[in-house]
Structure 1
Amino acid sequence: MSRWDTSNIPDQSGRTFIVTGANSGLGAAAVRALAGAGAQVILACRNMAKGERVAAEIGPRAQVRKLDLADLASVREFADSVDKADVLINNAGVMAVPQGRTADGFEMQVGTNHLGHFALTGLLLDKISDRVVTVSSGAHRTGKIDLEDLNWEHRKYQRWPAYGQAKLANLMFANELHRRLTAAGSPKISVAAHPGYASTELQSHTESILDTIMKYGNRLLAQSAEMGALPELFAATDNVEPGAYYGPDGWLGMHGYPARSSSSAASKDEEVASGLWELSEKLTGVTFSIGN
């Protein structure tokens, strides 16, 4: 594919998309583009005020609903509010934050980025007619899944390895969901995407000197949120390969237009992916109904 952008999004009239973290950054760019193509969009946001501002820009095709991925009670409440949708985009995330715990005691990064989305997808899957898109990151290559200590209860917390683990978990979840949907003969598909290096608010919550460093990095090196959102938009709307992984086509996958992306050997480890799935079910209390 060459230079696929929002002008290439097929007509989405009559379709409904749920996008997590749609109050800013990649998620806001995605819902604007989807609504511009005729879709109804549900902005699933922790920050309702910011979400309402984005929805006001879009108009009647947009609605905002509360979702805090760091709280399984909020995830369940949101899922209960949804009757049906065509596509779920698991876009929201936190990066390199100080050590913290979710409402359910999970390490904040794996709890928000992976376990929250795992639970949300499981609770919504019967209501999703077409596909699930999960946003990972090039940082998955630095990650290692520790099934004995997923939540950093026994290791000394390190923010970047924790982020790498969380983003690897996102990609492994997308891959495992694809395998399980395929095995069950389901017409639904699972696809993964990553934004490359995009300028968003993700880089401003480390509560350290890194916030300042990454602020300048965004200005000098990053592509726009609108460009960074293209891979997930392509994965969500175009004729994609089920189970594939899409990202920018430029240097080191940092910039450019959507294309197939490579991933680490660890992301393809089916035994670990199965173990992560089982552990995620145990931790969240959410099991998947797959087969229709």
Structure 2
Amino acid sequence: MAQKSAHKWVETDVPDQSGRTFVVTGANSGLGAEAAKALGRAGATVVLACRTVEKAKPIADEIGERAEVRRLDLADLSSVREFAENTPTVDVLINNAGVMALPLKRTADGFEMQFGTNHLGHFALTGLLLDRITDRVVTMSSFMHQVPGLKLSDLNYEKRRYSRWGAYGQSKLSNLLFAYELDRRLRAAGSPVLSLAAHPGYSSTELMGRTESVQDAFMSLGRVFAQSAYMGSLPELYAATAPGLQSGGYFGPDGFQELSGHPKKVGSNKASRDEAKARELWTRSVELTGVTYPI
């Protein structure tokens, strides 16, 4: 007698989220928009935290009256602080927004744009909101965290030659180091808040075709082979809503090489598990952002 295949987690597995509030960064398009809409369908109140408010309004209109659009520019710490100051209690923070493989640019505070947006902006936001988060923090990384690039002595590419993919890899490894270190600190403090991480596999989003180089043509072609943004959003949706998850977990697609598929718990490389580097990155992040954590 043939065995039943294992259940593949899908959106209908999301428990009722009525009465719960989620903040989703970068919810105006791609993964964030899909996650926000799914949360709205599950009954949640969703704050769409986006740099360009106008782009998020159609997503909010689709969700309905439980959606709120608020401006948040992760590349500007003054915007991060203003957003946090005006945010009440939140059940779940999803650190979803990101930029990918840009030419060398700087944030409003002088940080390399990818590291400043993908890691430092979310590090500051999480720290400023942490005493008002009741359930969990979900931080988006990528299988590109395996690309060499992290250099703690030159996080903002002030000395070394700039590499757009190296900088992206550094930011995504930093996301994982941060998520794991936050988990350790929350556990040490006896906090019930969970720190989880996720990655979308190879998904078709607006990040493709934004490198401002000849690579855009190849990345646009890659959309043909990529899974949909909806499928790519499922790992973060799973991490944000599934009951019984253990803090410190990392979730991605269950398909070949984690490029596509349904959510499952996945592993990450040795560098992401380096606790000494995680502590040093945390210290440097506090120095750069001026944000200290209440744990």
TM-score normalised by length of structure 2: 0.97
Structure 1 residue matching 2:176: 3-state secondary structure: helix
1:109 pairs with 2:114? yes
RMSD: 0.8
- Between the aligned partners of 2:153 and 2:138, the Cα distance in structure 1 is 27
The counterpart of 2:233, out of the listed 212, 226, 229, is: 229
- Between the aligned partners of 2:148 and 2:265, the Cα distance in structure 1 is 20
The one-letter amino acid of 1:101's match is: R
Residue matched to 1:199: 204
1:54 pairs with 2:59? yes
The one-letter amino acid of 1:200's match is: T
- Between the aligned partners of 1:132 and 1:288, the Cα distance in structure 2 is 14
The alignment-based identity, stated in percent, is: 62
Residue matched to 1:260: 265
- Between the aligned partners of 1:283 and 1:71, the Cα distance in structure 2 is 12
Post-superposition shift, 1:11?
A: 0.3
Give 5+ residue unaligned stretches, structure 2: 1-5
Moved over 6 A (4+): none
The one-letter amino acid of 2:240's match is: A
Structure 2 residue matching 1:180: 3-state secondary structure: helix
- Between the aligned partners of 2:110 and 2:226, the Cα distance in structure 1 is 34
Post-superposition shift, 1:143?
A: 3.4
Residue matched to 2:180: 175
- Alpha carbons of 1:106 and 1:93: their partners in 2 closer, same or farther (altered >3 Å)? same
1:87 pairs with 2:92? yes
Please say if residues 22 and 51 of structure 1, whose CA atoms lie closer than 8 Å, have aligned partners that are also in contact: yes
The one-letter amino acid of 1:113's match is: N
The counterpart of 2:281, out of the listed 260, 264, 276, is: 276
- Superimposed CA distance per residue, residues 258-291 of structure 1 (whole angstroms, 9 cap, x where no aligned partner): 001110000000000000000000000000002x
Aligned residues: 289
Residue matched to 1:30: 35
- Between the aligned partners of 2:265 and 2:204, the Cα distance in structure 1 is 21
The one-letter amino acid of 1:72's match is: L
- Between the aligned partners of 1:131 and 1:45, the Cα distance in structure 2 is 20
Please say if residues 181 and 189 of structure 1, whose CA atoms lie closer than 8 Å, have aligned partners that are also in contact: yes
Structure 1 residue matching 2:152: 3-state secondary structure: coil
Please say if residues 143 and 166 of structure 1, whose CA atoms lie closer than 8 Å, have aligned partners that are also in contact: no
- Between the aligned partners of 1:236 and 1:195, the Cα distance in structure 2 is 14
- Between the aligned partners of 1:235 and 1:250, the Cα distance in structure 2 is 17
- Superimposed CA distance per residue, residues 187-233 of structure 1 (whole angstroms, 9 cap, x where no aligned partner): 001000000001000112111111111111112x1000110000000
1:153 pairs with 2:158? yes
Structure 2 residue matching 1:12: 3-state secondary structure: coil
- Between the aligned partners of 2:68 and 2:203, the Cα distance in structure 1 is 25
Structure 2 residue matching 1:31: 3-state secondary structure: helix
Post-superposition shift, 1:3?
A: 1.1
The one-letter amino acid of 2:197's match is: A
Q: Is the deviation greater in 208-217 or in 80-89? A: 208-217
Residue matched to 1:122: 127
- Between the aligned partners of 1:143 and 1:49, the Cα distance in structure 2 is 36
Give 1:132-143 correspondences, 5 Å limit.
132-143=137-148
Residue matched to 1:75: 80
- Between the aligned partners of 2:136 and 2:37, the Cα distance in structure 1 is 19
The one-letter amino acid of 2:41's match is: G
The one-letter amino acid of 1:63's match is: E
- Between the aligned partners of 1:40 and 1:130, the Cα distance in structure 2 is 14
- Superimposed CA distance per residue, residues 225-246 of structure 1 (whole angstroms, 9 cap, x where no aligned partner): 1100000000000021210100
Post-superposition shift, 1:29?
A: 0.0
The one-letter amino acid of 1:2's match is: H
